[in-house]
Amino acid sequence: MTTSKLKQTMAEIVRMPKMSDTMTEGVVAKWLKKVGDSIKPGDVVAEIETDKATMEFESYQEGVLLYQGVSEGKAAPVDSVLAVLGKAGEEYQSLLDAEAAKAVVKAPVAQPAAPAAAAPAPKPAPVSTPAPAPAPQPARPVAPVAASSNGDQRMKVSPLAKRLANERGIDLSQVQGSGEHGRIVKRDIDWFKPGSFVASGAAAVGALTQESFEEIAVSQMRKTIARRLGESKFTAPHFYLTISIDMDAAISARESINAVTGSKVSFNDFVIKAAAAALRQHPKVNSSWLGDTIRINHHVNIGVAVAVEEGLLVPVVRFADSKTLRQINTEVKAYAQRAKEKKLQPADWEGSTFTISNLGMFGIEEFTAIINPPDACILAVGGISQVPVVKNGAVVPGNVMKVTLSCDHRVVDGATGSDFLRTFKGLMENPVVLLGQASI
């Protein structure tokens, strides 16, 4: 039989694809084809959760779906068996046997004197249903509530609390006790609001004092965040530089721009634009540590950290120094929306040369951020605070924003980082200079 005929009659393995540069395993979020369905090239077979997003997997092969190698909600390494395609009713167990044999050969042998038996080949079967969640661990029993000296058998109540409750017409069964073993005391009566506690008696006390917990599976995104930031924090020698910025002029400029143009440019857009302009003047900050070399990037691609439910994504505003405030604003908003919908593509988050993380909108005044590899620096931006400042020898109200630059000391020295921050501060405090470099 010729090779071409062999390919026409032999079932083919579909492998777990590598859908991002950092992906090591994928989770089948949903199968869109079931065993027995015919598949053509270009058909979407499954939705696969990577370390960054949930993406549609299109088949490049043709045939009938004979076998699903990964159940919905389960993870599998890149290049492992995702599915088998072939002709209806075609034998494919030999393919799975061969895969199992290769896995045994690759596995390290702990004791050469005692060869390990080959693992049994997986049996063909339709995709299995996810295993039931483990039964919740029973809570530690709570000792029954003893009767108080006042004769109330349902709960512990201090005499003063009981008297106050009677005077105010408060039903003690509706009061949550904050004393020892759930004892109702005077402060509980003073703080009581009708409808704030609907459970009653010993059951209510037990429900509030027993220990309980839940465990959730770690998503591919969270695994990658943990691995990459752990490597960054414990590999790159971080140091931090903090500076305060007078935001009065930036506030005035933003109000004028939004009033004249009808747009809604944010302070974060100012930060991105000023950082990009400062990086152009300080290329050593716009660099990466590569081991034997340091890469000084001539282009300015700024990663903007976006919070999503499972962690952080960092889409990239490319050539940010050449873009206007409104272009930056539109791009960041679009990235944030796609990130929340898990629609970002690998090209959206690859290639940053510098990163900005802004928590000012959450009321955070100041923080330090972990460097996002392969960048050499990340800028942590706090909120704008109204504080007393000294201007022209007088103490007056002012608007101050603090930023902290985290630096990889293998690439950036203290003086280099300080020079960058001084330039950044000057641009933020004099937005006319910043806006003079490009149209609004």
Q: Indicate the pairing of strand 12-15 with strand 63-68.
A: unpaired
Contacts of 321 (CB under 8 A, 6+ apart): 273, 276, 277, 279, 280, 300, 437
Contacts of 320 (CB under 8 A, 6+ apart): 272, 273, 275, 276, 300, 301, 302, 328
Cα–Cα distance measured from residue 146 to residue 164, given in angstroms and rounded to the nearest whole number: 21
> Helix or strand or coil: residue 373?
coil
Residue 291 backbone phi and psi in degrees, to 5: 95, -85
Cα–Cα distance measured from residue 26 to residue 213, given in angstroms and rounded to the nearest whole number: 27
Q: Indicate the pairing of strand 302-304 with strand 354-358.
A: parallel
Other residues' Cβ atoms within 10 Å of the Cβ of residue 166: 10
Name the residue type at position 63: G
**Longest CA–CA separation in the chain, Å:** 98
Contact 248, 398 (CB under 8 A): yes
Tokens standing for residue 332: 């960041």
**Cross-strand partners of 396:** 389
Which helix (H) or strand (E) is 209 found in, with range? helix 201-209
Instruction: Pick the closest to residue 52 from 303, 285, 300, 266 (CA basis).
Output: 303
Contacts of 264 (CB under 8 A, 6+ apart): 258, 329
Tell me whether residue 238 is one of the annotated catalytic residues. Answer: no
> Helix or strand or coil: residue 231?
helix
Cα–Cα distance measured from residue 162 to residue 177, given in angstroms and rounded to the nearest whole number: 12
> Helix or strand or coil: residue 84?
strand
Contact 352, 272 (CB under 8 A): no
Contact 59, 71 (CB under 8 A): no
Where helices occur in 30-116 by DSSP H, the ranges are 93-106
* Active site positions, annotated: 409
